[in-house]
Amino acid sequence: MFGTTLMLAFREIRRHLMRSFLTTLGIIIGVSAVITMVTLGRGVTADIEEQISSLGSNVFFVFPIQGERGQFRPFDEDDVTAVREQIAGVKSAAGQVDSNVVAIYNGQDWETTVEGVSGEFMDARGIEMDVGRRFTEAEETSGANVCIIGPTVQEELFLTGESPIGERMRLNNVSCQVIGVFASRGSVGGGGDEDNSVFMPLTNVQRRFTGNDNIGYMAVSYDSAYDSATMTNALVDLMRERRVLLEGQANDFDIVDTAQINETVQSTVGTMTIMVAAIAAISLVVGGVGIMNIMLVSVTERTREIGIRLAIGALAKEVRLQFLTEAVVLCCFGGLVGMILGFVFSYSLAGALGFPFIFDPFINILSFVISALIGILFGYFPARRASQLDPIEALRHE
Amino acid sequence: MSEQPIIELKGITKTFGEGAAAFQALKGVDLSIKRGDFVAVMGPSGSGKSTTMNILGCLDVPTSGVFKFLGTEVQSLNKDQRSLLRRRYLGFVFQGFNLLARTTAVENVELPLLYRGEHKAERREAALRALDRVGLRPWADHTPAELSGGQQQRVAIARALVTDPEVLLADEPTGNLDSERSIEIMEFLSELNGQGITILMVTHEPEMAEFAKTIVHFKDGLVERIENGARNHAHAGSGVNG
Ligand SMILES: Nc1ncnc2c1ncn2[C@@H]1O[C@H](COP(=O)(O)OP(=O)(O)OP(=O)(O)O)[C@@H](O)[C@H]1O
Ligand SMILES: [Mg+2]
């Protein structure tokens, strides 16, 4: 019986192909919108996750900020040493300072940033070498005129195929010898180009570019066996003590935790995805109302047919099942087309916006099931009306 | 066959509407019909013929009275139980043919079997056999719009026959046909009656009533008189075997 009902439903839909398509448009739009939104949301999340992981994992960034009384007190190397030596669980702690410079090589200028760093800093941030080598300990201590350039700088100042290793370039009027190129660390949050940078030993940058012993921020990496909250507390306590902050005074430094950024961003994107998907889902409901409307029209149009069916012995529930099946088949058809369109939209949008495309089977199955449920929900009332017709009246219709 | 009538109506009344608008269409109809009979129901317009047919067809229930069909008291059955009776024992032919539009003849004929849950192949075979009986086998794949009125009515008869019903009910089956087609249909109905099907038919035309064995005259919601049809004599005694 059910196979027959299904066949009848297909036949009826085929008979009004255009109308059936227009009827299901609401469902198609709803399903494709929900799928597109959720799939894009997942792509964005994955993209951000990757960017954040490029900052290194289990890393804190500690910045000096303006204090309560307007004071701004930078860190110095002693602070870094204290963190490294006095807090349990710290694997490495390193300071960084930077300055905008013009790099000159072979008669060409390029605006870039010089960063005073150390091997330990590169460890903490998880920066790998592309070619060449890192600074030696001796170079770091003495502040030798050696530099490691970023991929962007290499691209801008050196010819393709030309090895920059051993070449001398100038940063403003400081000459240095290129000893390596660091591997791309990507761009964070679409902001500045992290690869447009030249590393020099920290002491060298302090002496020749910034002219003081200050450091801009500390990168502190910790053992993953320790949790982020414990480490944060230890860091805050130590820094407050070192900066002699009284109880009740606000911190004049800030600690940013990559795990925490990750969490915040993810939950923000998650919330936005849910909101947009919910708005898209409203069109699913509107689509359901469309289905109900057309099914009611169909019941009126086919009153005589219903009368014939009842007269030759169809049970009320059989007539109801027939109309319900029609509504559900329509909705499932809409769901299917919506899924395909959702795939096409999210795939091409992800490509156009530069996000990874991550197929989410759950949302696809869910959307399909929901469209079938909408068919049942909004098809039930018209189907019930059909089944409750009086055969004599129905036969006399028109 | 026993003398037990296949259909028995006792004191059937039917009132439409309520209160001041109430109208009593049937005022106490008594009628019993033997198995194998061919009954023509006649009477002026509004005398309650269709109302009676609807009750006999288990499409409607009387306001009061007893309607026994094959020994079952139909007036106390619910909607679905009456549907099951219809699908099992009754065939309908309507004045307006009432075929499903845009549906081929053979699919129209298959319809009652669908609700009996028969398989596709058996359905198709039985439907084609029924179409063969009404001489429309070659038209099996035509839709009603492509058939003449007489052909459409024969498809409707095939649909009524396909389930091998005990009783065939026809409310003015020739009402929409010219006299030549009408005679064809009537000849076909008497042939079916000869094969053992009990037939009840409403008609306004005396020529058509000629084909019946029994003629029941209605007037003002009551059976006025019952007479033997012209053919009754010829068919008398031939009974079920025709
Ligand atoms: N559903 C209904 N509601 C109200 N009155 C009805 C209804 N059906 C029939 N009637 C009335 O009952 C009376 C009998 O109707 P019925 O259809 O049985 O007549 P009929 O003998 O078949 O007439 P005709 O020869 O015109 O078909 C008529 O007066 C009609 O108006
Ligand atoms: Mg009538």
Summarize pLDDT for A319-333 with one digit per residue, the tens: 999 999 999 999 999
Return the residue in B95, B100, B115 with the most chain A beta carbons within 10 A, the one to mutate for interface testing.
B115
What is the predicted ipTM?
0.90
- Residues in chain B with CB shorter than 8 Å from the CB of A315 are 80, 83-84, 115
Selection from A101, A149, A322, A127 nearest residue A219 by Cα: A127
Summarize pLDDT for A268-285 with one digit per residue, the tens: 888 888 888 888 888 888
Domain ranges of chain B: 7-232
Q: What's the CA gap between A285 and B232, in Å, rounded?
A: 65
- Between A109 and A4, residue with greater pLDDT: A109
Residue B2: per-residue pLDDT: 52
Residue B239: per-residue pLDDT: 38
Q: Cβ separation of B115 and A392 shorter than 8 Å?
A: no
Residue among A15, A310, A395 minimizing CB distance to B83: A310
Residue among B60, B86, B94 minimizing CB distance to A313: B86
Q: Is A174 part of the contact surface with chain B (CB cutoff 8 Å)?
A: no
Q: Cβ separation of A311 and B59 shorter than 8 Å?
A: yes
Average pLDDT value for residue range B198-221: 94
- Residues in chain A with CB shorter than 8 Å from the CB of B99 are 308
Residue B236: per-residue pLDDT: 42
Q: Cβ separation of B111 and A309 shorter than 8 Å?
A: yes
Ligand nearest to the CA of B170: 2
Q: Is B18's C-beta closer than 6 angstroms to any atom of ligand 1?
A: no
- Residues in chain A with CB shorter than 8 Å from the CB of B60 are 392
Question: For domain B7-232, which architecture applies?
Answer: 3-Layer(aba) Sandwich (3.40)
Residue A228: per-residue pLDDT: 83
Residue having the nearest C-alpha atom to atom 12 of ligand 1: B25
Domain ranges of chain A: 2-51+263-396, 74-242
Ligand 1 centroid – CA B238 distance (Å): 36
Summarize pLDDT for A158-204 with one digit per residue, the tens: 988 889 999 999 999 899 999 999 998 766 544 567 889 999 999 99
> Of all residues in chain B, what percent carry a pLDDT higher than 90?
75
